[in-house]
Structure 1
């Protein structure tokens, strides 16, 4: 995902488009922008002005909005270059998740943060989507291999993963273990400015969503705020559920964070469950969590916490 796509994604969300509609809007806007031979290296006021004056007023974009059933008044705002950016971006740096969910996603940020802090990785953040997927898998696998202290009454034995760890279920794909829900959450983290993705090189990895170029994943501005506030608290956690999870992340980063994609891929594909699995076979079931009934909180870019 290109850095500037975040701005277009926010506009598409404001338009309340479907998932496929959002992607079509982004593709249309990017096509119009690239045809004008303008290059922007930063997301800033100049780029927003370019969108407002040169892209959103273009006939191709306006035609798409009309065909998508967008209200006439909003189409007129686009046509006249008067899209209300203050309204569109007012919640740009506001994170809104359930209390239970914020813990899960915070631990993803912890993983990215730990890779950034590990001197052996020799790079900031996680240097590919492939490694992001596989490090989360290895964290859960480590927890699944640990025995619980009390009797396990679950219908399947996943050790400590029954009570802690990420909720992502992994299935076998051409790249090895892959969790679709993790990819979806990564996009949510990106849209909320919790993480950033940037193209590292025009070199593919084995990952199914990294076929043409490699992406580096780092903390976004809001993610840095969250880690500044909570990283030390996570390290000091004394509850078994959180301390085991945090220790598993640190151990996996220390053991595998420095590996190249090629080295990690060789290791992953040589694991017994992976070697025996066919395409889309279940490899590892994540911790089961339901969020619908949870209270909701917001975290602003300034680190302020509120309840919804």
Structure 2
């Protein structure tokens, strides 16, 4: 079955929801989804959703009154609300991406460093990252260690733990025993749509796994890295090297760890253990990379 939260989130984005609206939509949709899923499981003849999950969403989740009311209260276009009411939301289309996407250097830095994180992970662990939430936790630990670094590449001028010059731009929130970033997930969705990342459903997940996907480098990853990595290395080697050093130490420590092992480490960190569930545990870098050569955005053809 596709990631239960991924489908809900992608449809919310398709409907035009952003930031707090998207967060509140998910908070509304998740209990509706869980209740509908539980009712479905109690019907033994309809226990397997792998081949018809999107139909299930349109039949039992999207037309539900709490979701429709939320959309109406947030002034979503009437035609889109009608698609929810009638159970005709184009869920598959919500996963599609444009074949040509324009991005600036700031976004490409994150893409490249995320791919390098996966590349180094696979070299050490010799498997894809699984489950999906482990990738979020690893990226968080990279930023956390950068925020604790004494290097002048990191500054607290904007508040404790705010990364000024380096680290992923993603903001992380606590979600149970792991961390999650909606913006990181959106980037993963884009990279997967371009076949730069591969994301597959895990057939035999562990009981403690929340999101049963594995993530690995896709066919186009090497081409992407070849195209952009040299350019970034010429841009500002110290900042990116400092970032990569911390990234590699995280992988040395946790590339072969289970979700339980990573969660145990997170609980040992005061910033995580004292953070309420659903609350922001660490902000990403607020400043963007700039370059005279990169005033115009780069076009990525996939």
- Give the TM-score normalised by structure 1: 0.58
Report the counterpart of residue 230 of structure 1 in structure 2.
225
Report SS of the residue matched to 1:125: coil
Report SS of the residue matched to 1:41: coil
The answer to whether the Cα contact below 8 Å between 1:96 and 1:298 also exists between their aligned partners in 2 is yes
Report the counterpart of residue 203 of structure 1 in structure 2.
207
Aligned partner of 1:186 among 180, 184, 194: 184
The answer to whether the Cα contact below 8 Å between 2:271 and 2:281 also exists between their aligned partners in 1 is no
Query: After the TM superposition, which residues 63-142 of structure 1 pair with which residues of structure 2 at under 5 Å, given as runs?
Result: 63=65, 66-67=68-69, 68-69=71-72, 73-74=79-80, 88=94, 91=97, 98-118=104-124, 121-127=125-131, 129-130=133-134, 132-134=136-138, 136-138=140-142, 140-141=144-145
- Supply the RMSD in Å over aligned alpha carbons: 5.2
Deviation at 1:287, TM superposition (A): 3.9
Report the counterpart of residue 15 of structure 2 in structure 1.
15
The answer to whether the Cα contact below 8 Å between 1:167 and 1:287 also exists between their aligned partners in 2 is yes
Question: Max radius of gyration: which structure?
Answer: 1
The answer to whether the Cα contact below 8 Å between 2:110 and 2:168 also exists between their aligned partners in 1 is yes
Stretches of structure 1 lacking an aligned partner (at least 5 in a row): 205-209
Report the counterpart of residue 279 of structure 1 in structure 2.
274
Alpha-carbon separation, structure 1, partners of 2:273 and 2:137: 19
Deviation at 1:4, TM superposition (A): 5.9
The answer to whether the Cα contact below 8 Å between 1:140 and 1:165 also exists between their aligned partners in 2 is no
Report the counterpart of residue 48 of structure 2 in structure 1.
39
Report the counterpart of residue 245 of structure 1 in structure 2.
243
Report the counterpart of residue 304 of structure 1 in structure 2.
301
Alpha-carbon separation, structure 1, partners of 2:96 and 2:175: 39
Distance 1:140 1:231, change over 3 A: farther
- Report the count of equivalent residues: 271
Distance 1:30 1:11, change over 3 A: farther
The answer to whether the Cα contact below 8 Å between 1:234 and 1:243 also exists between their aligned partners in 2 is no
Deviation at 1:22, TM superposition (A): 4.5
Deviation at 1:218, TM superposition (A): 0.8
